[in-house]
Structure 1
Amino acid sequence: MPAARWAWPSRRGCRRRGFRSPHGPGRSWTSRTRPPGPRRSARRTPGPPRGAAVRVRQPKPAGETALRACPRHYVIRTSWVIGEGMNFVATMARLAEQGVGPSVVAHQHGRLTAAADLAAGVPHLVDSGAPYGTYHLTGSGEPCTWAQVARWVFEDLGHDPARVTPVSTAEYNGGTNDGAPRPVNSVLDLCSILDAGFTPADSRAVAREEAAAFDGRRSAHDGCSPRD
C-alpha cells in the first residue's frame, strides 16, 4: 500500500490514542541533486524532502507530510545502507578477489550507513525521550563517492585500488538512461541525531568493517574441509 494511504489513518489513530508515530527509514530521494561543495554540503533538518523529482513516484514525501500532523512522531531519513548479505562492499570485495577491475560511479556523494546503526539509532530516539521531529541517520565522517568506497575495499583487502575506474552514471549505463535515476548528493546533516546523543559509525570504518567481515567469511569457507 502506498505510504500516503496508510499514513493518514495511522496518524489519526496515533493522535486519538496519544501514541508515538515512528516513520522511516526514508532513503536518498530526500537529497539534493547537486554534488556537495563549499556552500552545498549536507541536507539540513528538518523540512520537507527535496530532490524527489528524480523519482517517478513520490510516496515517501507524502507519507512524511501525513505523519508530521501527529504531534508525537519521528521521521528517520537515511541513505547508502549496507548490512549482512550481498551489498555494495561485499560485491566490491568479491570482484577484488576475482581479479576484476570494476568501473564505479564517481559523482554521487554520500556516506555509508551500517544497518546496525539504524537498528540501534531508532530505539535510542524513542527510549531516550528525544524531541519529536525529523532526524537524519547515516554514517558520519567525510562524504565519499561509490568509487572511493570501492577503492577503500580494494585497499583494505590488499589489492591495488587503482584497479577501480571512476566513471559517470552515463558512462556506467553505456550512454543510455536505463535504471532508476539517483541523486548526486545523498549527504545528510547529522546535527539532530548527534544532539540526541547518538553517534553513527564513521563511513570509512563501516567500509573497513564490512570488508573485514567478507574476508573473515571467505577465510572460514576456505578453511572448511569435506567430511569423510
Structure 2
Amino acid sequence: RQCVPVPEHVSFAEASMAEPLAVSLHAVRRAGPLLGEEVLIVGCGPIGALVLLVARQAGARRITVVDLAEKARETALGLGADEAVDGRDEDRIAAWSRNRGRFGVVIEASGAPAGLDTALRAARARGRVVQLGNMPAGQSPVSANLVMSKELEYRGSFRFAEEYALAVEMIAGKRIDLKPLMTHRFPVRDADQAFQVALDRNQSMKVHLLDL
C-alpha cells in the first residue's frame, strides 16, 4: 500500500520523510535481529542516518558509522551513534578487518565500491552485510573470497514494501525524531539555491522545498 492517510498534525515536511524512513526500515528488517548486536553503518547521509535511528530502536548494542563528510559524522553522533569514523582513517578501518572482522551486522549505505569493500572486511565471520546503497552503473567489484572465507550473508535491500505505512505511523506517533535531519527549508522560488545546498554534504542533510 503506497497511499497512506496522514494525520492533520503531521506537517508536509515530516510527511515527506516517510519514504526515506520506509527505505531504512526495510533495510533494518533485511538485516535480521539486531538485539545486542554491534552494527556498522557505512555512509551516513539521510538514509544512513535514518538506519542509525531505526537500528537503535531495534536493539543494537553499539553503532559505529563511517563517512567522509564531517557534517554527516557530527549528525550521527548527535543522533546517538557510539562512534563516527572518517572514511579516510585507513588505520582505524584496517583494524576492523583484523581477526576476521569485528561487526556482526554491517549496512552499506554509501553506494560506493570502496564502501562495500569496507563493509565486507569489517564484518565478522558469519556476519550479515546488507547492500542498501545504489552502486554506480556497470560492474562493481565484490570481494567474493571474503564472502566465501568468512561465510558472510550478503543481502540486498531495495526500497520498501509494507514498511511505508509503518513509517507514517511512526512519524505521526512521534516515535522517531526526524528534526535533526531536516536541516534546510526553502520556498519553491528559491529552488536553485535549495539544490545547491542539497548537493553540499558538509552543509545539509535533508532539504525541503515548500510553497511557504
- Say whether the fold is shared (TM-score over 0.5): no
TM-score by length of 2: 0.24
More strand as a share of residues? 2
TM-score by length of 1: 0.23
